Amino acid sequence: MNEPIIVGISGGVDSSVTALRLKEEGFDVECVFMKNWEGESDQCDAEQDYKDALSVCNSIGVPLRSTNFSNEYWKNVFKNFIDEYSKGRTPNPDILCNKEVKFKAFLNYAKDIGGAKIATGHYARIKESGHSYQLLKGVDDDKDQSYFLYLLNQEMLSNSLFPIGGIEKQEVRKIAKKNGLLNHAKKDSTGICFIGEQKFFKEFLKKYIPKHPGTIKSVDGEICGEHEGLSYYTIGQRKGLGVGGGFGNNDDPWYVSEKDLSSNTLIISQGSNHPSLYHKNLSADSLHWISGYAPSKNDNLSAKIRYRQKDQTCTITSLSGESCNVQFMIPQFAVTPGQSIVFYDGEICLGGGIINNRS
C-alpha cells in the first residue's frame, strides 16, 4: 500500500486537483480543511469554501476532516503582521503563514493523524539532490509560488509534495473540468492568507492600528496634504493618497517614495519614473537558506523583491550571519522595507530575507 498523504484542501481548484492526482496515483489520500481566521471578513466565505471542498472530496472518493489553527495563526502570523505595519513597514503574511501554519502546524497535525507526508496545491517543485532537498520554481512562470515558500527548511520539504508544480494552471483547470469537479472555474483566492481580499485595506488596518495623522510632502519639500498614519501606506503606492490637482508640473500620478518615521511625514514623488522610487542597493536581515547554509557563490544570482516580479540579476556584496547587502544590476522600483527578497540560482530557490533598508 502507498503511504498515506494528507492534503490541505481549501475549496479551490489547485488543492482539489492535488488531491485528485494523488488519488489517481494510488496514494491513500485524506483531505483536511483548515479554518485559521476567526475575524469578520466580507470577502472570505469559509463556509462556502468548506462546502466546495466537501463536494470535491465526495466526487473523488476521499475523506475530509476539518481543523482550526486560529490560535497559531493569530500568535505566529497576524501579530507579526500588525507589529510590522505599526512600525511603518510592509510585511508579507503569506510567507510567514506558510512557515508557521501550512508547513508547521498542519504538518504536525498530519503526522498526528497518521500521515506520511502532506501535499498542497502550491505551484513549486521539490527535488531530492543527494541527501538534501531543493525547492524549485513552478513550471508555470505566471503562477510560480516559490517566492512564498523560501522559509521552508529541509524537514518541511522532505515531508511535503507539490503535485501540480510541474504543470500549467490552464492544465489544472482542464483536469478539474474533465473530472467533473464543480470548482473547475472557481476564481483564485487573493488577499491576505486565510483572511482574504480586503477591498478597503486601510479600513481593515484601522481596526488594529490607530490613526496617527501627519504631513504629506513632495520630495521637493512642498506640503501636499495630510495622511492618516504612515502604517496605512506602502512604498510605491499610487492609489488612495488624496493628492489631486494643484501640485506638480503635469498630470502624472503621485507615488509614495519614502516614509519618514522620525517626523511622521509621508514623502511622495510624481511619475513612475521618478528617481526617488528606484534603488540599486538594499540590506536584508533574518536570512534563511533552504539548504541550511549560505550559497557558495554570491554573484550571477537573481532575486525577486515581490511576487511575480521577473528575476533580477544581483550580487550579494556582503554576508554576515543573518544579514546581507545586495546590489542589483539595474535599479529596482519600490524597494520596500518589511517585504522579502528571495534569491535564486536558475530555477533553484535558495532562500531569502527581510528587506531592511535601501540606497
Assess if residue 214 is contained within a domain. yes
Which pLDDT belongs to residue 195? Answer: 56
Give the pLDDT of residue 269.
95
Residue 202: inside a domain, yes or no?
Answer: no
Type of residue numbered 353: G
Catalytic sites, residue numbers: 97, 193
- What's the pLDDT at 180? 93
CA distance 146 to 130: 21
Which pLDDT does position 40 carry in this prediction?
57
**Residue 355 burial (10 A CB sphere; 0-12, 13-18, 19+):** buried
Q: Last residue of some domain: 236, 253, 273? A: 273
Q: How far is CA 22 from CA 4, 29, 98, 194, 241, in A?
A: 10, 7, 21, 24, 48
pLDDT of residue 245: 59
- What pLDDT, in 10s, does the model give residues 106-159? 999 999 999 999 999 999 999 998 889 999 999 999 999 999 999 999 999 999
Specify burial of residue 9 (Cβ count, 10 A radius: 0-12, 13-18, 19+).
Answer: buried
Q: d(Cα 1, Cα 24) in Å, to the nearest integer?
A: 14
| Res 67: pLDDT | 94
* Structure confidence at residue 200 (pLDDT): 61
Query: In which domain, by residue range, is 295 found?
Result: 278-358
- Tell me if 323 sits within 8 A of 283, measured CB to CB: yes
Q: What is the CATH number of the domain that holds 253?
A: 2.30.30.280
Residues 115 and 37 in one domain: yes
Whether 56 is in a domain gets the answer yes
pLDDT of residue 42: 44
Regions in the chain scoring below 70 on pLDDT:
1, 38-45, 190-200, 244-246
> At which of 224, 252, 273 does a domain end?
273
